[in-house]
Amino acid sequence: MTLVNVAKRSGSVTEKTIDSQHLLEMVNAARKQCGESVVRNNVFIDRIKDELDGETYKIFVGQKNGADIEVVEMTIKQALRVAARESKAVRRSLVDKLEDMQVIQMPNQSNSGLPEYRRAKAAQLNAQALEKNIASARELMTMFPRLGDAANQVIVATLVNPLIGQDIVPLPQIEQRHYTAGEAGKQLGVTANKIGRIANKHGLKTDQYGEFFLDKSRHSDKQVEAFRYNSEGVKALRHLIHGADVA
């Protein structure tokens, strides 16, 4: 472990390093936001030394309120490990800020790595959003198990393609027209409610006569499974309504 004493060192951040005073300010600011008590400098210094035991870092003599204090200078990587000792809420705030500091550009340096870091960060966030959307798609399919393959494919395509930037999940080809209960009712001269009653009574809500789609409820903003009828379904409804008195 390398120890260097230099008089009157104030809080600062240089290329890929940070001193304990600056880090402590960040920790205590995050702790206050999370409703946690602040940490005293001597306690924080002991914590740093314990975490970095056996490693190389620098110790300076600093000033606080007119008194000499120890100040530790460490790498951002070491600071990240010190920050990892904090609670989950505090740690989240600190890690993002410390990672940003890893790409601070020193004077007269042309390549700070900032563009690469930003691209990597954007890719990471995009991957997290993609994972979240895939989980949402699975949840929807679990909530609405009667949805057909085409409807499930639309869900996945809608949630995944915009994040990928291309149509990696194609929208299903429409091979035949499907009609809502209202549209079928207009063709047959009856209400949508009557279409639904007849279909339920005679078991028409099957793959032979149509398919379940995800739709908005007529009475709220909730999404619901709604059966839509293909041409065979409309034909069967026409026979039941006009070919026999079953309504």
For residues 77 and 142, state if they share a domain.
no
For residues 147 and 209, state if they share a domain.
no
Q: Is residue 2 part of a domain?
A: no
Beta strands (DSSP E) in the chain are: 13-14, 17-19, 58-64, 67-75, 210-216, 223-229
**pLDDT (0 to 100) of residue 118:** 64
- Provide the token pair at 228: 């839509």
Q: Is the pLDDT of residue 163 over 70?
A: no
For residues 100 and 123, state if they share a domain.
no
Find the length of the chain: 247
Q: Is residue 217 part of a domain?
A: yes
For residues 89 and 46, state if they share a domain.
yes
For the chain, give the mean pLDDT: 76
Domain count, the chain: 3
CB 72 within 8 A of CB 62: no
For residues 21 and 57, state if they share a domain.
yes
Q: Is residue 237 part of a domain?
A: yes
For residues 38 and 69, state if they share a domain.
yes
Question: To which residue do tokens 């999370």 refer?
Answer: 34
Cα distances from 133 to residues 98, 147, 158, in angstroms, run 28, 18, 9
CB 28 within 8 A of CB 39: yes
**Where a domain ends, among 79, 105, 131?**
105
Q: Is residue 3 part of a domain?
A: no
pLDDT band at 225; cut points 50, 70, 90 = confident
Domain that holds residue 120: 115-164
pTM: 0.38
Spatial separation of the C-alpha atoms in residues 120 and 34, rounded to whole Å = 28
pLDDT band at 102; cut points 50, 70, 90 = low
Residue type (1 letter), 219: H
Spatial separation of the C-alpha atoms in residues 247 and 245, rounded to whole Å = 6
Least confident of 30-44, 67-81, 87-101, 116-130: 116-130
